[in-house]
Structure 1
Amino acid sequence: MATDDPLNVVALVSGGKDSFYSILHCLANGHRVIALANLHPPPKSGSTSIRTTVRSEDEDGSRAEIGNTISNLAAIRISPSDHVVAQPQHGSLTGPRADHDSQDEDEIDLNSFMYQTVGHQVIPLYAQATGLPLFRQAILGTAVDSGTSYKDPDGHHEEEDETESLVPLLRAVLKAHPEVNALCSGAILSTYQRTRVESVALRLGLIPLAYLWQYPELPHSSASTTTSAFPTNTLQPAACTDDAQLLRDMAAAGLVARVVKVASAGLGEEFLWENVASDTGISRIRRALRRFGGDGGRGAVLGEGGEFETLVVDGPPTLFKGRIVVCDNDKRVVREGGGSAWLSIREAQVEAKPEAEMVSKTEGQGVRIPDLLDPKFENILGSLRSKFLGYEHGSISPHEIGQRPSFLSLKLTSSISQDWYHAGRTGDIEVQAAQIVDEVRQRLREYSLSPTAITNSIIVLRRMADFPIVNKLYGALFREPNPPARVTISCGDFLLPRDADITILLAVQPRMKQGDRRGLHVQSRSYWAPANIGPYSQAITYPLLPIDKDNSNDNDVNSNLPVAVSIAGQIPLVPASMSLTPMSPGDNDNIRLQITLALQHLWRVGAEMQVQWWSSAVAYFPRSTTTSYTKHRALLAASAWRAAHAMPSSASSDAEDGPDLWDQKYNPLYMTYGNSGDTCTAKPGLPDWEVLKDFDPDSYSEGGLSQRALPFVFSAEVEELPRSAGVEWHAHLGFANVGFGDVRLYSSHGSDKDKHTTMHSVVVESPSGDVFVQTIAAYQNSEAAHSGVGVRGTQHILRVVGQILQTSDRPQLGFIELNPKLTYVNSESFDLLGDAGSLLGKGAIIPCRSLWDSAAQKLDMVVILESRWGKRTHES
């Protein structure tokens, strides 16, 4: 199936606003919703069955009973034409009014971490209200696996965790509707819920859809509503939105979502049955939460912290053919204590909508689909299209900010990370990949390490067509949640060492303890960033520097240490469809949009992982037929990188019609939204310029920044990229949890004997006194071009780099480790067809057809080195 073909969707519904709004987005994206699916509370008091009676009306008007007692292990199907009646004490379906003075088993909320159960009595009416078949299954088990990310259970655990109740439910749907190939859920900010739905969906061969994932932090569209996934680009930033924008969008789409549970000190039972998808409801909830200091939390106004739960009783005619009506005397308040109260609904019915209403309200209603690019990256794309990109821009390179630090009192610490480099040797690609996987497994056993110790990988293939074979074998290494971040490129037939069809670099953290590692592994389609559909994560974090052994049990001390973030290579896929970007008017090759969109993906993943600064980055491009076009792409990438780091001008910050600096930092209206880059952002942005030592924003020109105070960026021409993409952005490392002024940048040139090497360094200090240094040595020697000096030339360059590192800069910058982490080599300058064994031990070799700096000047080699220094030597 093509990535942009319409999908046949089964939608999980709890009755809440998020699941139904997600259905509307499925429809807006051209997919077909085939059925609804719901999990309900099991019967109490040890009962093993639910008394459910479904009556259908025959053609002559008579009614016949077509169902009775059903085991709670089996799913039931309710058709839109079924008239549902049930015993209310079981709470499975609506029915005759019960005695309100008796508190039966129905008036117990499961308080499930995974599923909303309040209002479950109304769920069966959704079949009639929407015209879609509804499948229901009892929730079995409890939250056995309480981790944020969910590990697929072993067979003997399958029925213990409540997540696994989804399996028989969805199997029943697939049996009745084998055409279903996607599963829709309403996950917004909850990693706990999203990862569990993804786990079940992927095991059953379904594509997970979570269109609302990170939706509150996506920018408001330039138009009020749109049904196009690719709206017209605009250079004007979107208007500031607030944290309740999602509720306003739901109201604009016609949803009516009533509060059925409150569990916040600010929300009393007087909020029950309030319509949150309305201006009145939003205002009331916001005021109440602010009174108790609850409005500053991420997603609080949306109820993402459990502040309230909702029940949808009406929606647009595209989904709702009738509305659900509940009379006042059919609602009973149940008080659980501790400020928690909810409504037990005793009876409800579906009221068909008049035909006139169905027609009139269909016109003008729509679902807001966020723009493909947020305002910051719209502006970047506009600058790439409007400016003449000549060579006059000059090189982007960091320069010294503040005084050069002295590391004379520091000691070189043993590295907390290792780099394992493996190359295929003999046999076809399947044999070589299997051989490497076996080697990695054996090495893990030797070090007594779990595969979770691997945080990042770079896979270099001779042919991208071999990727599916490699992916399957490589993926078998990782059974735990959040596999390593990954970068994959193809270098062609003539660049890898002889007989090698694949090389793999693995970054391994052998000292990482449980809880040190955190991953972001979104496998659902959304508007946010591309889903990771293979055995890799968007990002993995781990300690950048050794944990302070003297304070190893002091969480407050170690929580202040900087964090390293490894991020997967980002290609320009449209997140909602997972297809490559569409052709844009006036941009025949589409490379500008691809560069911009892939860079936005890198920014959004980085912002979610709270990255404040990048160490360096490379933009990979596929093979070009002309040198001029290769240079053109290098200039575009450098210009986009520069623009992404641009600071808002002082003029725009002080504008009368926008938020001032105080607003951006302290006003809750502008503090809610994440690092989208527009002037409404108030969280520490990416980049966070305050982490730079002695950084003076006044030294930067209005409307931009000095081009030199940036992380080093370069371009690498390879053979091919995944999905035949036009670009792949790879940030070598992100830094998070960095303190004010703890990052320093330096640049220097080689000695008089070697004028062809420049050094670009980023230094990160921590409160513990440890220091991390990453250095890029960029070598440029026009005389070496086309010389074919072979492997000896590569070793010679490494010796030259070593000599530079041990010159006068060494006492100040502390470089001593000469084994590079990554070595990018221009194949036009160096012959790489020799014995692969002669290159092993020299770090990962990334063979490239050409290398280019930010001024489109050709490079012969780029070497990345890392070292760590501290006031004391850390023990293993």
Structure 2
Amino acid sequence: MKTVALISGGKDSFYNILHCIKNGHSLDALANLHPPIDFPSDEMDSHMYQTVGHHVIDHYAELLEVPIFRQAINGSLKNANLSYKPTIDDEAEDLFLLLTKVLQERPDIEAVSVGAILSNYQRTRVENVCQRLGLTCLSYLWHRDQVELLSEMVQSGLDARLIKTAGVGLTTAHLGQSLSQMQPQLLKLYEMYELHPCGEGGEYESLCFDAPIFKYKKLEVVDSKIIEPTSHDCLAYWVPNVFVVSKDSETYDTEWMKSLIVPPMLEEEMEDLIQFVGEADIVDTEEEKEIIENKLQYPISVFSTDNSSCIFNLHCDSSNLSFEEEVEEVLRQLLELTNKIQTISGENLAVISVSLLLSSMDLFPKINSLYAKFFDGIASPPTRLCIATTLPFLRRVQLSATLAPVREHQALRNLYVQSRSYWAPSNIGPYSQAVRLGPICYLSGQIGLNPIDTTLVTDSNVKQGVLAYQNIQRVKSAMNAEKWLAPVAFVTSQKNMKIANGIWSEAGEEFKLITVQVNELPKGAAIEWAGNSLDMSEVLSAQMNADIDDSDLEEETSKYTIKAISWKALDFEEPGSLVWVFSLFVLSVATNDIKVITEKLLGKLSASTGKLTSAIIYTSSFVLQEELDIVFEILKKHCAVEIIPVRRVWNQQMIEKKWGLVFKGTN
């Protein structure tokens, strides 16, 4: 894609350009934001932009032989929310003006190169601007390991020097030093004080003097000065006086592209998983592809507690409506029921998670555009699971949603990455990769997409399944919620079921896995991972504060920690499938006798004053209507009940069962 690179003069923006070119994109323009002309200092108090060194920026157009577009920073911090929405006079709107100017002059520009590594604040604002302008964000440094990244920058031949210092252990004596000179000191400070090696905590800023993509010229320092802290400058910084000089060689060396280190698509331990799992020794039969008629019927289910509301099984069974009309009716129901709950509770609600069931994946493009329109303008869209499965007759879409009250003391956190990177796939629809509500993390389904270009890996289903597993693991890690809760593997055949269970087993996961077979997955994928996860550190602190006296803290901590993360069984078919965590429990089990399981659980809860809040029931093609009616009648008095019809259900021992159950509640 034709690309404009956002540059500050620092190492990150130029190193990201190298990776853009390595991945087949062209550099066609530069863009930079700088302090207003009458601003008394090079240093602005900006959360978005590096401004120290801005007097050097115009030289980069000559070094890179592309035009540069510049814009003064007239805005300031007006919207501090992590999830950004357009805000008048916010400094992010200066970026919008700058890129609008670029597109007016260069309407062929398709993408923006951004050197973001760790800052969600910066990334969400750039992505918001790019989305509004129809541009793709390229952030190949996103979530890279900073020790590795610093080493790679040094090895690449990038000559970047420290221009501002602010971190512990860094002084004015380090100003003007190159990355290669500073690398040992930065790594030492990382070990001693957890200083970010690449300066992502604001510890230092840099200025680039040479790079492999500077074909024939580079910058050289004539003289320089150090600006000491004043009323205008709270930190010291370096002001080099530079001019452009020719490089020693008159020919452009393109060998850098071969030696540029690109992280492998799969981590080493994931490559090992592929070797351990291997292809399943089973041949799919034609019966796997046969259409199964689903005659089950079940109603909409709505249930609210103090902390969440569930609106499940929204549908519109009508042969007289077009598909678009059917979708619009389902979304209307969601809006109407949400408004009713808000009126009763007196609180605003946010949709945090959606499961979207289709009769065919051929309908996905149509529903994606309608779905996007419905959630348009929401800075933090919900997570989403999307599958094509055996819906009841006449039904082409079914939607279930979990909602949470918007409260200041109960902030929702979301991960909504739209940039292409090496980290994990950007969104292929209007959904967040994850949403955190307290210690609980709701996860979008993940398939085996290559993060670089969001194409499906088709080498083998094992590799595809492992990549999908890595993708969801990276999302969990980014949200600091790595303990699985109620994981489900969606597969398209019995062979893929064996692969998914092989991956789960070899990965050493503790929570019992339910695997269900559906008709189709997005992009023709073989395996999709989904579920919730938990931040155990947050859970432990919440438990200690709530249930343990300070005098007992030291004595009880070890025991309490064990209790919080240990798995318990209630004499169910799947030992180890129940986890109790302070005021939350999650039960996940595959079974043939749902009535016994349900009644046993309700009895246990009644004895402990606990209660259910939601139930997700995966119904295989062997389930009879009268069986479903009995269970639904029992559960609807206690919680919301989501029905997800599927072809087949297996437990972790790969034994086929009639039902898959995920119960959530409080103990």
2:131 partner SS: helix
Distance change in 2, residues 1:520/1:254 (3 Å):
same
- Partner of residue 577, structure 1: 453
> What is the 5 A alignment of 1:761-800?
761-766=577-582, 771-780=583-592, 799-800=595-596
Q: Deviations over 1:321-365 (max 9, x none)?
A: 31011212x4453434797211234x4221122335644x73686
Q: Deviations over 1:820-848 (max 9, x none)?
A: 5211011244469x99xx99956111111
Q: Deviations over 1:36-81 (max 9, x none)?
A: 1111111217xxxxxxxxxxxxxxxxxxxxxxxxxxxxxxxxxxxx
The 1-side partners of 2:50 and 2:75 are apart by 15
- Distance apart, 1:582 and its partner CA: 4.5
The answer to whether the 8 A contact 1:614-1:734 is kept is yes
- Partner of residue 27, structure 2: 33
Distance change in 2, residues 1:196/1:15 (3 Å):
same
2:446 partner SS: coil
1:110 partner SS: coil
The 2-side partners of 1:387 and 1:467 are apart by 29
- Partner of residue 621, structure 2: 827
**Structure 1, unaligned runs of 5 or more:** 1-6, 46-104, 217-242, 391-412, 544-562, 584-589, 625-629, 647-709, 751-756, 781-796, 870-876
**How well do the aligned residues superpose, as a CA RMSD in angstroms?**
2.9
The answer to whether the 8 A contact 1:634-1:714 is kept is no
**Larger RCO (CA under 8 A, 6+ residues apart):** 1
Structure 2 residue 498 is matched with structure 1 residue 607:
no
- Partner of residue 315, structure 2: 423
TM-score calculated relative to the size of structure 2? 0.85
Distance change in 2, residues 1:572/1:532 (3 Å):
same
1:611 partner SS: coil
Distance change in 2, residues 1:815/1:859 (3 Å):
farther
* Matched letter for residue 566 of structure 2: R
The answer to whether the 8 A contact 1:760-1:777 is kept is no
- Distance apart, 1:19 and its partner CA: 0.4
- Partner of residue 644, structure 1: 507
* Matched letter for residue 114 of structure 1: M
* Matched letter for residue 734 of structure 1: L
Distance change in 2, residues 1:726/1:388 (3 Å):
closer
The 2-side partners of 1:163 and 1:152 are apart by 8
* Matched letter for residue 304 of structure 1: E
Structure 2 residue 135 is matched with structure 1 residue 206:
yes
The answer to whether the 8 A contact 2:355-2:385 is kept is yes
2:275 partner SS: helix
> What is the 5 A alignment of 1:706-725?
710-725=510-525
Structure 2 residue 82 is matched with structure 1 residue 181:
no
- Partner of residue 526, structure 1: 421
> What is the 5 A alignment of 1:317-396?
318-328=213-223, 330-336=224-230, 340-345=235-240, 347-355=241-249, 358-359=252-253, 362=255, 366-385=259-278
Structure 2 residue 64 is matched with structure 1 residue 130:
yes
The 2-side partners of 1:526 and 1:596 are apart by 18
- Distance apart, 1:193 and its partner CA: 0.6
Q: Deviations over 1:63-118 (max 9, x none)?
A: xxxxxxxxxxxxxxxxxxxxxxxxxxxxxxxxxxxxxxxxxx4x441131111111
Structure 2 residue 534 is matched with structure 1 residue 734:
yes
2:445 partner SS: coil
1:296 to 167, 174, 194: 194
The 1-side partners of 2:261 and 2:207 are apart by 21
> What is the 5 A alignment of 1:560-571?
563-571=439-447
The answer to whether the 8 A contact 1:618-1:730 is kept is yes
The 2-side partners of 1:313 and 1:806 are apart by 68
* Matched letter for residue 303 of structure 1: G
1:599 partner SS: helix
The 2-side partners of 1:451 and 1:432 are apart by 27
- Distance apart, 1:283 and its partner CA: 1.6
The answer to whether the 8 A contact 1:185-1:209 is kept is yes
TM-score calculated relative to the size of structure 1? 0.66
Q: Deviations over 1:850-874 (max 9, x none)?
A: 11222322111112212213xxxxx
**Structure 2, unaligned runs of 5 or more:** 284-303, 541-560
- Partner of residue 63, structure 1: none
> What is the 5 A alignment of 1:7-406?
7-44=1-38, 105=40, 107-153=41-87, 157=88, 160-216=89-145, 243-276=146-179, 278=180, 280-287=181-188, 295-297=193-195, 300-316=196-212, 318-328=213-223, 330-336=224-230, 340-345=235-240, 347-355=241-249, 358-359=252-253, 362=255, 366-385=259-278
The answer to whether the 8 A contact 1:592-1:636 is kept is yes
The 2-side partners of 1:268 and 1:724 are apart by 55
2:513 partner SS: strand
- Partner of residue 332, structure 2: 438
The answer to whether the 8 A contact 1:265-1:339 is kept is no
* Matched letter for residue 484 of structure 1: P
- Greater share of helix residues, 1 or 2? 2
The answer to whether the 8 A contact 2:569-2:578 is kept is no
> What is the 5 A alignment of 1:475-874?
475-478=372-375, 479-491=377-389, 495-510=390-405, 512-513=407-408, 515-543=410-438, 563-583=439-459, 590-622=460-492, 624=493, 630=494, 632-645=495-508, 710-736=510-536, 737-739=538-540, 740-741=561-562, 742-749=564-571, 761-766=577-582, 771-780=583-592, 799-806=595-602, 817=612, 821-830=615-624, 843-869=641-667
The 1-side partners of 2:431 and 2:533 are apart by 16
Distance change in 2, residues 1:266/1:461 (3 Å):
same
* Matched letter for residue 309 of structure 2: Q
The 2-side partners of 1:117 and 1:847 are apart by 56
- Distance apart, 1:763 and its partner CA: 2.8
* Matched letter for residue 138 of structure 1: A
The answer to whether the 8 A contact 2:435-2:443 is kept is yes
The answer to whether the 8 A contact 1:619-1:637 is kept is yes
1:865 partner SS: strand
* Matched letter for residue 827 of structure 1: S
- Distance apart, 1:246 and its partner CA: 1.4
The 2-side partners of 1:365 and 1:124 are apart by 29
1:462 to 359, 374, 377: 359
2:662 partner SS: strand
Distance change in 2, residues 1:115/1:816 (3 Å):
closer
The 2-side partners of 1:592 and 1:255 are apart by 38
- Distance apart, 1:802 and its partner CA: 3.0
- Distance apart, 1:745 and its partner CA: 1.8
The 2-side partners of 1:729 and 1:519 are apart by 19
The answer to whether the 8 A contact 1:269-1:341 is kept is yes
* Matched letter for residue 12 of structure 2: D
1:30 partner SS: coil
Structure 2 residue 363 is matched with structure 1 residue 471:
no
The 2-side partners of 1:459 and 1:364 are apart by 43
- Distance apart, 1:645 and its partner CA: 2.5
The answer to whether the 8 A contact 1:523-1:531 is kept is yes
The 1-side partners of 2:53 and 2:361 are apart by 51
Q: Provide the identity percentage.
A: 31
